[in-house]
């Protein structure tokens, strides 16, 4: 069975979950802090928000695919791989991922795979686009505002890490420069000592002694 079809079945299998429980879950997530209960109920009724369960090792999103969905991790741990390189593990409940594709209007920038059994809230922006005005514009503004906060925090964390890395690079360069200076001084001393060892006469005497015939 194609992986995408399997993912669709995973979503459909748990869609009938109690709407009240799902609504209560959504209320706890910062993503929906600006939404009233009737707004959340509308998103559930049109299929814009649903639950999905993924098995360990299953790809949740695949790099290069273009989709209008993003995800909120509810349970489990996922791995993020970009261009074949592992870049992050995510395990904090409430973590949002997969939003870049529809925001930038291009394919997924990374593959996200479940490392353990995972539950995710799937937000399908395609369904939001089908809402009638003014709900459509209002919902989009509120969702994008929350996503902007997520990206801003992500950039802040990345910039903080960059600062740590740059500081470490500078410290290592300074340590390397100090070490090189010590070694250069040691080499200069050895060369000076070598130059002071005038052994030419002794070498000639030794040669004469060894070559002498008695």
pLDDT digits (tens, 9 = 90+) for 35-94: 999 999 999 988 899 999 999 999 999 999 999 999 999 999 999 999 999 999 999 999
CATH number of the domain where residue 34 is located: 2.60.120.10
Mean pLDDT for the chain overall = 84
DSSP state for residue 58 in the 8-state scheme: -
Q: Is residue 75 located within the same domain as residue 110?
A: yes
For residues 58 and 132, the model is more confident at: 58
- What are the tokens at 29? 């997530």
To the nearest 5 percent, what fractions of the chain are helix, strand and coil? 55, 20, 25
CB contact at 8 A, 60 and 116: no
The reply to whether the predicted model has a pTM over 0.75 is no
Q: Is residue 193 located within the same domain as residue 111?
A: no
Count of domains observed in the chain: 2
Q: Is residue 142 located within the same domain as residue 200?
A: no
CB contact at 8 A, 127 and 48: yes
């Amino acid at each position: 069975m194609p992986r995408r079809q399997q993912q669709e079945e995973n979503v459909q299998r748990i869609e009938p979950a109690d709407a009240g429980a799902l609504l209560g879950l959504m209320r706890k997530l910062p993503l929906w802090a600006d939404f009233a209960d009737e707004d959340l109920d509308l998103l559930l009724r049109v299929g814009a928000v649903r639950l999905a369960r993924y098995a360990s090792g299953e790809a949740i999103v695949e790099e290069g695919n273009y989709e209008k969905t993003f995800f909120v991790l509810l349970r489990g741990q996922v791995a993020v791989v970009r261009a074949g390189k592992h870049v992050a593990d995510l395990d904090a409940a409430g973590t949002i991922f997969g939003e870049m594709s529809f925001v930038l209007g291009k394919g997924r920038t990374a593959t996200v795979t479940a490392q353990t059994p995972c539950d995710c809230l799937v937000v399908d922006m395609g369904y939001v686009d089908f809402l009638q005005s003014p709900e459509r514009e209002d919902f989009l503004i509120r969702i994008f505002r929350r996503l902007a906060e997520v990206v801003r925090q992500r950039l802040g964390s990345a910039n903080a890490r960059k600062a740590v890395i740059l500081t470490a690079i500078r410290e290592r360069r300074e340590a390397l420069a100090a070490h090189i200076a010590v070694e250069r001084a040691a080499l200069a001393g050895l060369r000076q000592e070598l130059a002071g060892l005038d052994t030419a006469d002794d070498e000639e005497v030794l040669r004469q002694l060894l070559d002498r015939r008695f």
